[in-house]
Amino acid sequence: MDRVYYKAKINAFLTEPIDSVLGNLLINDEFETTEKQKKAWKTEIEILKDQLSPFTEGELAFEYTIPRLGRRIDVVCIVDGIIFLLEFKVGDNEFKKSTDDQVMNYALDLKYFHQESEKRLLIPINVSTKAGAKENEPVEEMKDRITKVLHCNERSLMTTMLRVLSGRQEDPLTIAAWIDSQYVPTPTIIEAAQYIYQNHSVDEIARHDAGAYNLTKTTERLNSIIDNCKAEHRKAICFVTGVPGAGKTLVGLNIAINREQIDTNEHAVYLSGNGPLVDVLTEALKRDKKERSKLIRKQECAAPDEMTTFIQMVHRFRNEALESGSTPLCEKVIVFDEAQRAWDKAQLSKFMNEKRGIDDFDQSEPELIIKIMDRNPDWAVIVCLVGGGQEIYTGEAGIQEWFYALRSMFANWEIYLSDKMTDSEYIGDSSLPVLLEGRDYHIEPELHLGVSLRSFRSETLSAFVKAVLDNRPDDARKLYTEELKAYPLCMTRDLEKAKEWVRNQARGTERFGLLASSEGKRLRGQGIWVPTTINHVAWFLNGKDHVDSSYYLEVAASEFKVQGLEVDYSIVAWDADYRYKDGEFVYRRFRGNDWQQIKEPQRQKYLKNAYRVLLTRARQGMIIYVPDGVDETIDATRISKYYDETYQYLLSCGITPL
């Protein structure tokens, strides 16, 4: 894929005929160029020929691609080593906030992920050609060397650029060196799904961190296992582990989509028990398809078969397979996301009895899934994506349930395990020989994803969160001091200050949101309601102008709604359900009019994991809000001592107060 449609030194551009420049743009356009686009390009060329005459030593490029965002920057100009990003809105007579956000998104993406832009001065400019001029608009440079968006019309671009250049000069930089610079983005799971679905390679949007088994290596190893099973008529189950945010879901989507592209007869499918994740990804793909195809009516792109086929709720897949009896499946490869959340025998039996009227059902979900895939007479592969410490629902048995099924049956299935599967987060206090009772298995280092991609500013966030939740304040403080310097993390006891903080941190369309535990019932006294049901699709996908979106900070999303998804900045509201008392965490749930102790170890684990999920959702920064509480005579359910010790404990972990 060409990074640009046209590039040249500005002095050469100024002398080149308009039709010649336009012809290059048309030849390199990967889409069928509309008349509207042709006219816009011609207008841009005319404006730039008029406005760039003083900058003959500079260079420019038209239509530079931003793979992570799936968009192209209209024009990039490099003058005296300074990078100008121009977003043209031909014919617009006002400077729209949406255009400001768009060009700021470009600047942020380049700053974070483009090597030659990382330390350079970036100037995002909204060029709305018919808008009124903003005379002497200040050039406000922020701490990461991006300026606030500047505004120009068709006649004021020259004067604005001259004002920026006055007294400023960077090291020399050519447009060729800038274009060829390494671009190593970290996409959100939504962006990644959209990009892969457009038949792009994960290599184009994946980081390649030295010393870490990255997404590409894991994907290559899984494809190798699948290809071998296909060629040798074997069946295999693979367990991929990873720290929170390491890209397990991205690997799964990549396998599910790309196996179909390798051979349409393979019918790979991505399965998840995470309803909000499936809903959000499916809707995001619909919206992306609609935008790219320029469809007018939403029903034309609502739930096309291919979107609801390769991403499915596991319950739908399971139920349809049961109805088909012993018939071999068309699916040869399934990817089971968050496999540790599969239902145990008791939970699935209860469901089958209550929902399907089956009285004698006696299988766990892992056993049933393997049995369904074992129907294939030739070959089959199951890829289990496993997150440590992610079980949050009743009946989620952990990864052990898969091993219980494999040790007593399915002797014809080969087992491939990540080399981290022995960690306590995955198998508790047990061991693989005990869990598998003599079954042979293959250890595969490539099946572990050890670097968090969600928190690209700090790959150690998950380790810090683990230390905090495991009551290891000294370890947490060391990680905070030494490893979290690039990740804004603070706390406050003032909710309005927390909201102000995330709004000030986020730029462009960077998403922020309010998160809280589903058991945080007494946050309601602080004005935070944690509803069981929210419009999670709108919360994650809608823009700043929609009241149901995360941007409004009015609806708190619980661990059930955000697991597997992410925001850029978060407010995590910490209630008295998981509170610190006398040197340790205690577990509570609010029922009736009082906090009740949670005694069952499995439910304690669910609550702890809920906070693990909440504290690892933010890619770029997080603020923790711990309420002050009130006097007991005012409200005995949220008294100050329930919160004060938690706040003091978090201080001991090194977290800086706002």
At residue 388 the predicted structure's pLDDT band, cuts being 50, 70 and 90, is low
Q: Let me know: does 275 contact 313? Beta carbons within 8 Å.
A: yes
- Report the share of the chain in percent with pLDDT over 70: 89
pLDDT one-digit tens code per residue, 342-372: 888 888 888 888 777 788 788 888 999 999 9
**CATH number of the domain enclosing 554:** 3.40.50
pLDDT tops 70 at residue 335: yes
pLDDT one-digit tens code per residue, 497-532: 999 999 999 999 999 999 999 999 999 999 999 999
Closest CA to 525 of 611, 447, 631: 631
256 shares a domain with 386: yes
Task: Tell me the two tokens of residue 270.
Answer: 């991505």
The larger pLDDT score, comparing residue 243 to residue 160, is at 160
Give the distance from CA 411 to its chain's centroid: 37
pLDDT one-digit tens code per residue, 604-623: 988 999 999 999 999 999 99
104 shares a domain with 29: yes
366 shares a domain with 262: yes
β pairing state of 235-242 and 311-313: unpaired
Could you give the CA distance from residue 632 to residue 628 in angstroms, rounded to a whole number?
12
Domain boundary among 424, 449, 474: 449
User: What single DSSP character describes residue 24?
Assistant: H
pLDDT tops 80 at residue 430: no
Closest CA to 273 of 417, 418, 424, 392: 392
End-to-end CA distance of the chain: 45
Q: Let me know: does 381 contact 236? Beta carbons within 8 Å.
A: yes
Residue with tokens 């406005």: 51
Q: Is residue 297 part of a domain?
A: no
pLDDT tops 80 at residue 496: yes
pLDDT tops 60 at residue 69: yes
Q: Is residue 198 part of a domain?
A: no
436 shares a domain with 467: no
pLDDT one-digit tens code per residue, 279-290: 998 888 888 877
At residue 393 the predicted structure's pLDDT band, cuts being 50, 70 and 90, is low
Domain boundary among 416, 449, 482: 449
pLDDT tops 70 at residue 42: yes
Q: Is residue 303 part of a domain?
A: no
The secondary structure of 264-330 as a DSSP string is: TTS--EEEES-HHHHHHHHHHHHHHHHHHHT-SSGGGSSS-HHHHHHEEEHHHHHHHHHHTTTPPPS
The larger pLDDT score, comparing residue 82 to residue 284, is at 82
26 shares a domain with 46: yes
At residue 455 the predicted structure's pLDDT band, cuts being 50, 70 and 90, is low
At residue 408 the predicted structure's pLDDT band, cuts being 50, 70 and 90, is confident
**Mean pLDDT along residues 624-631:** 95
Mean pLDDT score of the chain: 87
For residue 9, the model assigns a pLDDT of: 97
249 shares a domain with 171: no
Q: Is residue 588 part of a domain?
A: yes
Alpha-helical segments (H) within 137-247: 157-165, 175-180, 189-197, 215-232
**Mean pLDDT along residues 228-246:** 90
Q: Let me know: does 140 contact 150? Beta carbons within 8 Å.
A: no
Q: Which residues face 386 on adjacent strands?
A: 241
pLDDT tops 50 at residue 303: no
**Mean pLDDT along residues 216-236:** 94
237 shares a domain with 147: no
For residue 298, the model assigns a pLDDT of: 40
Residue type, 337: D
pLDDT one-digit tens code per residue, 91-104: 999 999 999 999 99
Residue with tokens 């700043």: 544
For residue 505, the model assigns a pLDDT of: 96
Q: Is residue 293 part of a domain?
A: no
Could you give the CA distance from residue 196 to residue 204 in angstroms, rounded to a whole number?
10
For residue 50, the model assigns a pLDDT of: 96
Could you give the CA distance from residue 507 to residue 111 in angstroms, rounded to a whole number?
13
* Contacts with 78 (C-beta within 8 Å, 6 or more apart), sequence order: 58, 59, 60, 84, 173, 174, 175, 178
For residue 263, the model assigns a pLDDT of: 67
Domain boundary among 449, 475, 491: 449
pLDDT one-digit tens code per residue, 550-567: 999 999 999 999 988 999
425 shares a domain with 477: no
Query: Considering its fold, how many domains does the chain have in total?
Result: 3
* Contacts with 323 (C-beta within 8 Å, 6 or more apart), sequence order: none
At residue 322 the predicted structure's pLDDT band, cuts being 50, 70 and 90, is confident
**Mean pLDDT along residues 463-484:** 95
Could you give the CA distance from residue 341 to residue 389 in angstroms, rounded to a whole number?
10
For residue 399, the model assigns a pLDDT of: 82
Cβ density class 425-441: b for 16+ within 10 Å, e for less = bbbeeeebeebbeebeb
Backbone angles phi, psi at 471, to 5 degrees: 60, 50
pLDDT tops 80 at residue 180: yes
**Mean pLDDT along residues 234-254:** 86
β pairing state of 489-492 and 618-625: parallel
Q: Is residue 280 part of a domain?
A: no
- Report the share of the chain in percent with pLDDT over 90: 60
For residue 163, the model assigns a pLDDT of: 94
**Mean pLDDT along residues 584-597:** 95
Q: Is residue 204 part of a domain?
A: no
pLDDT tops 80 at residue 333: yes
Give the distance from CA 380 to its chain's centroid: 29
57 shares a domain with 160: yes
505 shares a domain with 379: no
* Contacts with 139 (C-beta within 8 Å, 6 or more apart), sequence order: 123, 147, 150, 163, 164
465 shares a domain with 445: no
At residue 340 the predicted structure's pLDDT band, cuts being 50, 70 and 90, is confident
For residue 295, the model assigns a pLDDT of: 38
pTM of the model: 0.84
Domain that holds residue 637: 461-657
The larger pLDDT score, comparing residue 369 to residue 305, is at 369
* Contacts with 298 (C-beta within 8 Å, 6 or more apart), sequence order: 286, 290
Q: Is residue 301 part of a domain?
A: no
476 shares a domain with 365: no
470 by DSSP, 3-state: which? coil
Q: How far is CA 94 from CA 99, 156, 243, in A?
A: 10, 14, 46
93 by DSSP, 3-state: which? coil
pLDDT tops 90 at residue 432: no
